[in-house]
Structure 1
Amino acid sequence: MTRAVVVGNRRITGLSADVIAELVSELGPLWHERHQTKLASRPRKRAVGAGAKHRLVFVDRLLAVLIHLRHGATHDLLACWFGVDRSTITRAIGEIRPLLAERGCTISPGVRLRTLAEVVDHLGASGRTGIIDGSEIRVRRPAVGRKDRDVFISGKNKQNAVKTMALTDQNGRVLFCSPTRPGSCADITHARQLGLVKLLADGPAVEILADAGYQGLGAQTGGRVVTPPHRKFKKNAPEWCEEMHERQRKAHSSRRIRVEHAIAHLKNWRALARHLGRREHISDSVQAVAGLLSHQQTADLDPRRQR
């Protein structure tokens, strides 16, 4: 009954029943293979087929992880809902979340983008414009005495956070979300560390829209990163110049707003609104949610699935 309710109501997981069915058929064999490999890697103490059986089958494990990512439900709550022990839910999340993170972002049925280089090549081949922006996710404050305790403090909102870079196309479809960095890392520094400058300088001709936090990348990439226009006069600017600057700024902002909408859709998954778990797992959560959201966006655009 629990499984039927979760699958049948899109508000619970954020995914349609068709997408969940595709996830089960895709990830089920991978999970079973990894589970058997783990069992075979240690000396056997029981006969083949002996021992306790799983009380939480793979489908329910996947649904529990989706609910955890979508609503930030605690392990205790999910354990009560599915009628298992808390440790079973914790183990299931630790097994399924990396599988979701490895899928990449879906751009068409059977075609996925997993690295930033693949995204740049896709934008170049399709002639589309990319949009980048940084997003911060609040995390728990590191323990007292840690030498890197202050690196998680964001210079923007003065809170403990990690930062990820989201990249979408001109229509707001999610194409890539980077692994996270501590909140003190600047947006432009994060982009450089990901190798975006080299990919754009050596790759196909691609236009990337960005906000003022990425000013400076345009000169390093031959003008392929477009940022808001600079003010030509710092003081006593003519009225015509101010009007032109405001008009150019609004035109750039109206094109770039799509990535803000995409980040808002990502933050609808409560695991990315505020992360309460271990910081080592936040990158997997970000990339798992990005892959799930892009998969659902692709499914919604498929005319065969529209009703």
Structure 2
Amino acid sequence: MAEYRVTGLSPEVIGELIAEVGPLWHERHQARLTARRRQRAVGAGAKHKLVFVDRLLATLVNLRHGTTHDVLACWFGVDRSTITRAIGEVRPLLAQRGCTVAPAVRLRTLAEVIEHLGTGGQTGIIDGTEIRVRRPAAGRKDRDTFISGKTKQNAVKTMVVTDVEGRVLFCSPVRPGSCADITQARQLGLAQLLADGPFLEILADAGYQGMGAQTGGRVVTPPHRKFKKNAPSWYEERHEQQRKAHSSRRIRVEHGIAHLKNWRALARHLGRREHMSDIVQAVAGLLSHQQTAVLARGHRA
């Protein structure tokens, strides 16, 4: 169960997760036990059949491969409700960790990401990605808000920020699929953070055109097309060169999104939509932790 092909993480990273998340889970568990009136002392009664390490592994396999709770219950020899409760306890703890950019540095908010990029003089890349979800039940008022204008399917959307190497730095909480990329960025306060923060360059696609003027040129998008009809041949060639040059610079964010989608929980989600923000941020944190560990091993070698 702890193999890389099963969890997507190396044994070293899993060991670090156990050491970091285990005490947090134990603390929350003890707080729940002492928060209510009891007839027996804390620690009395039946013991957990599913220890924390198994709870963490079950959560990782669920996120990596989208394995159903029924299958995980058979693997670990417990009831399905035990797996559901275990994943519901561990997943928020993973989501709160943030993205790892160094062994002792975590980025949890968009403001911290902008400060990190500005301090290091780095270029950031942003893009929105969609995750298919179940359609809301008939009769609900928000049934049409999840329909994506791009794919015409029910989806939620998250904004991904990477560096020029494609390392994931931030994944935002999800929004319904009908929300435009630039609207989501504005709601996250990206324009204000860039206008008030250090000068840095953020590469984006055409979905963010208009933010460059709001941020003093910090958001760089593909060049506008000045001629809609009857464009001179020299302009067509020049515009195509500029567009390809910009695309080649921001292609790394597509690689980062592809690594995120390797976790099957982000390919298509068949569970509750309310859990999607935690799922996205938990996967982003796990992936960035593994990427940082691989880079650290490469530097040591």
> Given the two structures, how large is their TM-score scaled by the length of structure 1?
0.96
Alignment of 1:1-307 (within 5 A): 6-7=1-2, 9-303=3-297
CA distance in 1, matches of 2:261, 2:249: 21
CA distance in 2, matches of 1:23, 1:189: 35
Instruction: Pick closer, same or farther for the CA change 1:184–1:110 going to 2, 3 Å.
Output: same
What amino acid maps onto 1:12 in structure 2?
V
The alignment of Structure 1 onto Structure 2 pairs a total of residues equal to 301
CA deviation after TM superposition for structure 1 residue 100, in Å: 0.2
Greater alpha carbon shift after TM alignment, 260-269 vs 46-55: 46-55
Report the RMSD for the aligned CA atoms in angstroms: 1.0
CA distance in 2, matches of 1:277, 1:285: 11
CA deviation after TM superposition for structure 1 residue 306, in Å: 6.6
Q: Give 1:3's aligned residue.
A: none
CA deviation after TM superposition for structure 1 residue 47, in Å: 2.6
Where does structure 1 differ by over 6 angstroms across 4 or more consecutive aligned residues?
A: 304-307
Q: Look up the SS of the partner of 2:297 in the other structure.
A: coil
CA distance in 2, matches of 1:170, 1:201: 21
Q: Deviations over 1:243-262 (max 9, x none)?
A: 11010000000000000010
Structure 1: state its 5+ residue gaps.
Answer: 1-5
What amino acid maps onto 1:243 in structure 2?
E
Structure 2: state its 5+ residue gaps.
Answer: none
CA distance in 1, matches of 2:97, 2:201: 26
CA distance in 2, matches of 1:115, 1:49: 37
What amino acid maps onto 1:79 in structure 2?
A
CA distance in 1, matches of 2:16, 2:94: 12
What amino acid maps onto 1:208 in structure 2?
I
Q: Deviations over 1:111-144 (max 9, x none)?
A: 1000000000000000110000000000000001
Question: Is 1:137–1:272's contact at 8 Å kept on the other side of the alignment?
Answer: yes
Q: Deviations over 1:23-63 (max 9, x none)?
A: 00000000000000011100012233211100000000000
CA distance in 1, matches of 2:76, 2:144: 39
> Given the two structures, how large is their TM-score scaled by the length of structure 2?
0.98
Percent identity for Structure 1 against Structure 2? 79
Instruction: Pick closer, same or farther for the CA change 1:305–1:228 going to 2, 3 Å.
Output: closer
